[in-house]
Structure 1
Amino acid sequence: MLKSGANKIIDEAVKSIEGADRAKIKNQCFKGLCPNLKVQYQLSEKAAREAKPVAGLHETGKFHKVSYHINPEKIWLTLSKGYQAFDSRISTFKDITNALSNPSVDMIGICGMGGIGKTMLVKEIARQVKGHKLFDEVVFVDVPQIPDIKKMQGQIADELGLFLCEESESGRARRLYARMKEEKKILVILDDIWARLDLETLGIPLGDEHKGCKVLLTSRSRGVLSREMDSEINFLVGILSQEESWSLFQKMVAEGDCIRNHDLQSLAVAIAKECAGLPIAIVTIAKALREENLFEWKNALLELKRPSWRNFSGVQAAACSTIELSFNFLTGEDLKSTLLLCSLMGYTYHASMLDLLKYGMGMGLFKDVNTMEEARDRACPLVHKLKACSLLLDSHISEMFAMHDVVRDVAISIASRDQHVFTMRNHVVPQEWLDKDTLKFCTAISLHKCDVNELPEELECPQLKFFYMYPKDPALKIPDKFFAGMIELRVLDLTKMHLLSLPSSLHLLVNLRTLCLDQSVLGDIAVIGELKQLEILSLSSSDIEHLPREIGRLSKLRLLDLTNCSKLKSIPPNVLSSLS
């Protein structure tokens, strides 16, 4: 219609011009020296009348853009495959959505351990807020471990249907900034950040720069979110309940009817439980076992119950690698050493801050400290940071902390592989732990509620620094020469044992700093007085009746723990006063 109107006006204009030319020749005065003013006036009026539709047509034909680039709908935003709305996360989901609706909140953080399901959660949130028109545009960016600004800018541009021709980061940032300002309401999701990220360098407007722009962050570290990124509200994504774990396991295996088999079903329940509420472990293992036979299922359960102490293998690999990555990103050897030490502590779930102090002091973990109070001041921030990274968890018991089973398994595997640590829990100790080549390089041994039938006369471990034993049989006898080959030992914990007399070789442990005989039946322990370097002596919950006078010789002792020693009757004169 516009074209036909234009053609009609053009034809009429041509006729007018031709008529004007003829009139010009025909109607000249004074032998053509002057134009006929009357005719010229008439032609001008006619031209003015004909110009009006031309001007209207020109206005109608104005185009602000010759073409418009349509940005295809993002695949991740249209598919919700794999997401499962667990009851334990519904309230967190709603709280995050409400925070995104709050006009006074610009930046929100979501933290949780690797493999807990943060990415799935934020993608589902993005789908819903986009579907409910809470935001006009949603941008999702995978943040590399070492951020590549140009690559991330390119990812944002792709999400916005924008082509960046600028070479410099600052030029690209300006273009992204201007493009995002065009969106009235935009949500930018930065997934899995490991350290501070400068949003201005990326080109993301925030706060007063663009009230309609909000940023949603995910990280394994609460500290990165709150301290490095200054996120205003942070939400923790926790592990799944046992019922949710089983539901997810069934869903992942389900596509087969294999778990309807009675033998497999009982194994499946046990395997799901061993995954300890970690979605990535549940999904990985369930998918790996879909088409496998009974023997593979049994082997998978065995692997989960007895994780490889040399490396990650089998169905564990995917789950463990995410946690190992978190471990590798811990800043400072003190954090890494603390986590590995926590994994060796004999508790199945909850562990005591006081026990960490006892072990940490003995191992020399807390540098340049002189008192237990200083050690506590050093240990608490370390535990807090590990909690912020979701590698340790809060406990419902005061002065305790917890460690996720899968995290413990990964930490033990790392310690075993890199530091020659041997550890067993709740199992028969295999004979290879007595292999001379193994023991020659071993730095730590931890045996928790293990079925140890007999100990060798002497354990030759020249590099051993940590020895923990809590046997199933409290009457297990320790031979007199047992400690003779452990000259470097710094921490010795013999829990819940019948020690009517301590092995004579104990006095050879000249480097011993921490000795714990908690919950034990104790007889003659006078040999402890020979341990001149001892700093920590713990007899907590033991049945000791008489504190030996020889303890007064321990001039370097910093802590004597007699908590819950209900049978203690006497302490010789001047023993406590001699302990400075």
Structure 2
Amino acid sequence: MEQGLKIQVEELFAEADLVKWFTTLRKAVKDVKDKNTMFREPLENLDSKLEELNPLIENIENKYSTKKKKKEKGVPKLKDELDQPKWEVGKMVKQIENGNELVRKCSKRTPWNVFHALQLGDLKKCLNRLLSILKEEGIRNVFGKMVVSRENLGSFTTLADVTVGLDEPLRDLKNMLLRDNNVSMVVLNGFGGYGKTTLAIKFCEDKEVKAIFNKNIFLVPISKEPKLEVIQALRQRMAGPDDPLLLVLDDVWSNSESLLREFYDLKLKKCKILVTSRIKFRGFGTPYNLKPLNHKDSMTLLRHSASLGDISPDQDLLEEVLEHCKGLPLAISVIGKSLRGKDTEFWRSSLADWFKGSIPDSESDAELLLSLQSSIDALGDNEAIIRECFMDLASFPEGQRISAAAFIDMWAELYNLDEDSLSITILHKLASRGLANLVITRNIEILDDYYIEHFVRQHDRLRDLAIYNAKLDPIEYRKRLIVVSGDNQPINASRLSISSGGLISLFRKGKYVQKSQPINARLLSISSDGKSSKQWTSVHLPQLEVLVLNFTTENNAVPEFAQKFDKLKALIVTNYGSLPTELSNFHLLKSLSNLKRIRLERISIHSITKNFVPLKSLKKISLYMCNIGQAFCNCSIKISDAWPGLKEMNIDYCHDLRELPAELCDLVHMEILSITNCHKLSALPEEIGKLKNLEVLRLRSCTDLERLPVSIERLTKLYRLDMYNCFTIKELPKDIDKMSSLRMINVGQCLRLDELPVSVSVLDVQLEKVICDEEKKDLWELFIAREKIKVAKEQPNLNWLEMPPL
């Protein structure tokens, strides 16, 4: 398995012709380095780096010179599973390809010598990055782990900002797993929020542990529904390891006993297994119970979470908070953040309110949920919307990474948050209070307010808290309904059905209780595991504005009752399977005269357009990781007739989009068109000039896009053009000055854009900002005032490893 993982990374480079361009660059450097004294030192540095890389490149050439390896059975190709590594590989190979021409230019004395020197520095950075990837640690510890736990690795790449009370448990685990040859599996038990996962990460990061297991350390989240592809990969990896191997199975639920038994029965001498679970599995390995924090550690964590520093508030208040939290790290952290920056009177009033709280249904969760409830109660009247948005987070399944764009669409309709930045501000506030985890996969200093790289995670205990709060009101008065259709029910969430006459059926303790009341919920979330409930066949919610559908199976459908939601404004459909799925019954939406927003994730658009239906009120549609292909071509009706009022279209991470369908250019009322991270997109239609009302055009990270059509000059209302990381584009339109409304242009990471048309100088009067790279700054300063030019700086991070599979 490990060898297969390594081959997948090398194959990605081989398919991108790395060997060819590396060899060409190496020859060019040797030919040119002594011809121009100005470049002798940087070229000698390049030569040294190329020599260091050469054995690794030769290794790739030897493996793939005869024919490309076939995909191993049961192990998906990395390039098909993770688009971000492919994007990075493509970017590096392109830069090395361009490096040959750059080095040849350095043999001549030209006015551009200073600019070429900057480019050589950037080329060296690229080679350094390539070297780090091809080294053993880069291949096995980064890319290798992606295949095992690619969806959740980002959750385990860093520890919490502060960890306390784990030194002794860490020593105990090391004694049990490292020094006792009779112990092959340890089951780490503890209440939700005790820090089991944090301890497991700390164990994996320990120097002694790393020294023993080298790079063979795999931390895999299991949760309620173990992913079959992950289990298959683990089985292959565990088939008689040659070197010591550590496997951490995190958050194992009670329905996974057979999984534990399978791994426990292997009892391989060189393999150690650490399991974290709230369940005390009997008969599996050695149990270890994680205890609550002691008083000293609890106080340290509270002071840190509340940012007290040297401030010494009333000690009695601190003691009361700790008494309330019962030594639970998650509760201390969340409550501490909710009290951060508050005065003593606020602390006192909060404590008084906390002790009045009611107890949840589940006794086992009572203490923690009651402790966490205080963080919700601490939100003042002026923060009511923060409380409402926190409960909305539970509209999505636990353990999933949720796109922030979904909340933008949801909250725009529920709370009239017209500006997307307002929703992002709320997510930041939730994160600052410890109520959510906001993950930004790419940290770019200068980008506009398009938040496709922002994602949200929520601890399952906090999701339980959100559901608990959503259930406090009688069902007929609830603002939101969160329901799982099928056998898997969320904690404390009743099964219910609502007939067209308003009759509510609640499933409680084995029997149905019926009451005739209308329900005025504005948000309905349904998570389907494929076992549809007959009780949902005639649902009617007269006030419903937002419908969230979460699927985990193939061939899903818009529920029949959706056609009765007359006031529905936003539809969000997310498929959590590994591949895009069909979505039938889309035609039922044609009667919804108020539907303004549709967001689809991992959906095959062919299933929608083959029976196209008019949606006269639709203003915005977002397609994320969808299969598009030629879906908008040869439809039953013209797209301009189906969506006559569409103003915004977003197409993100749609890996099969090769050419934008010309039919989309008939949407003449469109004001915003965003196409990002569609790495196979190679062309835009010449008809794009028909979008006469277009104001924003984003083509971010469309790495195969070679040119902009000439007709783009006719977009006289366009004020923002974003081509960040379109590193294949070589030139801008000759008469770009005809775009009389252009105010901002982003050409950061456009590596091959070496020349600008003379007409750019005409734009100097109207342009307010040009974003480019440091090495391209001199080029733009020839035409545009220096103060208008901003340098794009991207801060590197590993959050992009969380990219879900395509």
Shorter-chain TM range is 0.3 to 0.5
Q: Rg bigger for which structure? A: 1
TM normalised by structure 1 equals 0.40
TM normalised by structure 2 equals 0.31
